[in-house]
Amino acid sequence: MKTNWRTKKLEDCLGKVVYTSKVQKKDFLKSGSFPIISQEFEFINGYWNNEKDLFKIEKPIVIFGDHTQILKYVDFDFVLGADGVKILSPKDFLNSKFFYYFLQSVDLKNLGYARHYRLLKEIQIPLLPLPEQRRIVKTLNEVFKKVAKARESAEKNLQNAKEVFESYLQSVFTNLGKDWEEKRLGEVLKLEYGKPLPKSYRKNDGLYPVYGANGIKDFSDKFYFSKPSIVVGRKGSAGELHLVEKNFWPLDVSYYVTFDNKKYNINFLYHLLINLELPKLAKGVKPGINRNEVYSIDVNIPPFPEQKSIVKKLDALSAETKKLEGIYRQKLADLEELKKSVLKKAFAGEL
């Protein structure tokens, strides 16, 4: 912040907020009359139908997520989601959007769960004349509009790159060759249960990866299975897939795949499982997939040499896709850094 600017402590800049009821996350509706705003990343997090819980806006406010550090500028009536969510209502000497942008420029260290508001209360808010605040807001709005447009383009290109590969993968399993054989998936592979691993056997510098449902959870000097396999999420991130070369420990929230490697190429099986979209089979409060349901799926399998030929083409396209994804992800990261840089300049008096 520019050193000669007058400032006030955050709490001296906030008007009193009379809270309506807060709605628990478990009660959020998927559709309804009124939007729910909480501290989740998505701007609107659910819906509600009871008008008595509506927080009515007189002047735009800022939502701060104490757990997530998420900031949201809100200029419409809404219902507040519960737990660790603060409504910050700036007094009349502060332009709400200026206040919001300034808070975005503040770098809060990560204190862990539900402690960040303590740091936020310690910051000083610049007290510029309202016309100057509005000028800064106008400049930032213009810059961020261009950033948002560039971000949208990069995200679309990233999605297009993924869709090209997904489309080709789907075509592999729909345009069947004459020697392809129809089988039940249970005839091709087995999903074996993972096993719990005591914490005493886990270590950060362990030799072998320990897999949960959604990837590597830890490392250990012990391994449970020593051959190439595919880890399949069983509970939680059900259906998520991870190709593993050898020597790993699958936890009990996962399956690992066994198969006849003289008949089936592991990379072909991996792409086959991706194409089957196993997460769609997940059921229950803590989503899980039943292996017998997976076994009953009808699949078509080409001869072993053709499996290897297909994998070679898929690997080449996958490598090109990942290269493009890397370019677009870097573009998104650069845009985020640009946004931070512009905010820093704005509150250093350089705009």
Is 165 within a domain?
no
Alpha-carbon distances, residue 50 vs 22, 55, 202, 341 (angstroms): 12, 11, 49, 42
Does the pLDDT of residue 194 top 70, yes or no? yes
- Cα-based angle 275, 278, 283 (whole degrees, multiple of 5): 160
Distance from C-alpha of 34 to C-alpha of 28, rounded to nearest angstrom: 11
Alpha-carbon distances, residue 323 vs 121, 329, 338 (angstroms): 43, 10, 23
Does the pLDDT of residue 200 top 90, yes or no? yes
Q: Check whether residue 188 and residue 297 sit in a common domain.
A: yes
| Structure confidence by residue, pLDDT tens digits, 163-187 | 999 999 999 999 888 899 999 999 9
Q: What is the CATH number of the domain that holds 275?
A: 3.90.220.20
Is 176 within a domain?
no
Mean pLDDT of all residues in 60-69:
91
Does the pLDDT of residue 110 top 70, yes or no? no
Q: Check whether residue 82 and residue 46 sit in a common domain.
A: yes
Q: Check whether residue 16 and residue 55 sit in a common domain.
A: yes
Does the pLDDT of residue 36 top 60, yes or no? yes
Q: What does the pLDDT read at residue 284?
A: 87
More confident call, 121 vs 35: 35
Mean pLDDT of all residues in 266-294:
94
Residue 209: pLDDT band with limits 50, 70, 90 = very high
Distance from C-alpha of 10 to C-alpha of 99, rounded to nearest angstrom: 10
Mean pLDDT of all residues in 100-111:
84
Distance from C-alpha of 191 to C-alpha of 294, rounded to nearest angstrom: 9
Mean pLDDT of all residues in 69-88:
92
Burial label for 314, CB within 10 Å (0-12, 13-18, 19+), is buried
Does the pLDDT of residue 3 top 60, yes or no? yes
Mean pLDDT of all residues in 316-335:
93
Confirm if 128 and 93 have CB atoms less than 8 A apart. no
Q: Check whether residue 247 and residue 192 sit in a common domain.
A: yes
Does the pLDDT of residue 290 top 80, yes or no? yes
Q: What does the pLDDT read at residue 13?
A: 95
Is 163 within a domain?
no
Q: Check whether residue 210 and residue 244 sit in a common domain.
A: yes
Residue 31: pLDDT band with limits 50, 70, 90 = very high
Q: What does the pLDDT read at residue 114?
A: 59
Is 166 within a domain?
no
Is 169 within a domain?
no
Q: What does the pLDDT read at residue 71?
A: 94
Q: What does the pLDDT read at residue 312?
A: 95
Distance from C-alpha of 266 to C-alpha of 284, rounded to nearest angstrom: 30
H-run or E-run covering 121: none
Confirm if 67 and 114 have CB atoms less than 8 A apart. yes
Does the pLDDT of residue 265 top 80, yes or no? yes
Q: Is the pTM of this model over 0.85?
A: no
The token pair that represents 148 in the structure block: 């948002």
Residue 117: pLDDT band with limits 50, 70, 90 = confident
Percent of the chain beyond pLDDT 90?
84
Mean pLDDT of all residues in 191-200:
96
Is 187 within a domain?
yes
Residue 113: pLDDT band with limits 50, 70, 90 = low
Percent of the chain beyond pLDDT 70?
99
Alpha-carbon distances, residue 96 vs 13, 35, 110 (angstroms): 11, 20, 25
Is 20 within a domain?
yes
Tell me if residue 250 falls in helix, strand or coil. strand
Q: What does the pLDDT read at residue 56?
A: 92
Confirm if 146 and 115 have CB atoms less than 8 A apart. no
Q: Check whether residue 33 and residue 78 sit in a common domain.
A: yes
Q: Check whether residue 65 and residue 136 sit in a common domain.
A: no
Q: Check whether residue 82 and residue 65 sit in a common domain.
A: yes
| Structure confidence by residue, pLDDT tens digits, 232-250 | 999 999 999 999 999 999 9
Taking the CA of residue 149 as centre, how many other CA atoms within 13 Å lie in the half-sphere pointing to its CB?
6
The count of structural domains within the chain is: 3
Is 80 within a domain?
yes
Q: Check whether residue 194 and residue 238 sit in a common domain.
A: yes
Alpha-carbon distances, residue 186 vs 69, 120, 281, 283, 284 (angstroms): 46, 56, 15, 20, 23
Place of tokens 């993972």: 194
The token pair that represents 177 in the structure block: 């060759």
**Domain, as residue range, for 88:** 7-128
Count of CB atoms situated within 10 Å of the CB of 79: 28
Q: Check whether residue 287 and residue 309 sit in a common domain.
A: no
**Closest Cα to residue 45, out of 28, 61, 20?**
28
Distance from C-alpha of 115 to C-alpha of 118, rounded to nearest angstrom: 6
Mean pLDDT of the chain: 92
Residue 19: pLDDT band with limits 50, 70, 90 = confident
Look up residue 143 and give its amino acid.
V
Q: Check whether residue 297 and residue 308 sit in a common domain.
A: no
Q: Check whether residue 20 and residue 110 sit in a common domain.
A: yes
